Amino acid sequence: MGVWETDYFDVAACPCGEGRIQRVVESPDNPWSRTSVRYDLACADCSKNWDVSSFDGTLTERSSLQASRAADAVRKETEAAVVEYLNSLLAAWPLPPFKTMAAEFEYLVVKGLYTGTIGKYRFARRSYSMREIAKVRPSSPLAPELVKKLGTTTKYDSLTGQAQVARQAADAKAKVVKRIHLPSQL
């Protein structure tokens, strides 16, 4: 491989207007290598807070993206806390005895404690007990009964309330991530 020829084409102004977004075309000096195209942000100021996609030149404002990711991490934590609480209650939930694995599977599916197929369930039962496989989610039909009989409604309401607030905050932050796309004719 020899020396590549590199060409720079200005394709748009940067956000502050002082620099440019450039298409960088690298051509090989031999016929068997492919030409490569990427995008660069040629502005020292904008580079501090904008990332450019080398693939299509789309600019993303780093600070708003980071705020969105942080809010999303909080959302995941609060949702995990709800699931963790429900599963701590499930540990004390009396599972009735069953004659067959199919009957166990049927019970778990109806209560929303298992989402796989019967085949997957039989396979999992080779290594785990029914109780170990059962997992409760906030949408499981058993969840309200579980909280009422074994848990504390105020605690559950508090956890789900926090999750709802965090979800709304994450949605709001995701909507305001600033992106600038290159004009499509380029």
How far is it, in rounded angstroms, from Cα 24 to Cα 6? 7
Site for Zn ion in 127-186 (CB under 5 A): none
184 burial level (CB within 10 Å; 0-12, 13-18, 19+): exposed
Distance CA 26, CA 180 (A): 24
Residue 42 vs 83, nearer CB to Zn ion? 42
Among 12, 21, 43, 134, binds Zn ion (CB under 5 A): 43
Residue 14 as a binder of Zn ion (CB under 5 A): the answer is yes
Q: What are phi and psi of 47, to 5 degrees?
A: -65, -20
Do 181 and 58 meet the contact criterion of CB atoms below 8 Å apart?
yes
Distances (CA, A) of 123 to 104, 129, 133, 134: 13, 11, 11, 14
Region of 9-17, 65-73, 96-104, 175-183 interacting with Zn ion (CB under 5 A):
9-17
Q: Which of 12, 21, 39, 46 binds Zn ion (CB under 5 A)?
A: 46
**Would you say 16 or 176 has its CB closer to Zn ion?**
16
Of the pair 7, 45, the CB lying nearest Zn ion is at 45
Instruction: Give me the sheet containing 50-52, strands edge to edge.
Output: 50-52, 59-61, 179-180
Instruction: Write each residue from 15 to 34 as x if it is in contact with Zn ion (CB under 5 A), else as -, in one continuous string.
Output: -x-xx---------------
Nearest approach, Cβ of residue 180 and Zn ion (Å): 11
**Binding residues for Zn ion (CB under 5 A):** 14, 16, 18-19, 43, 45-46
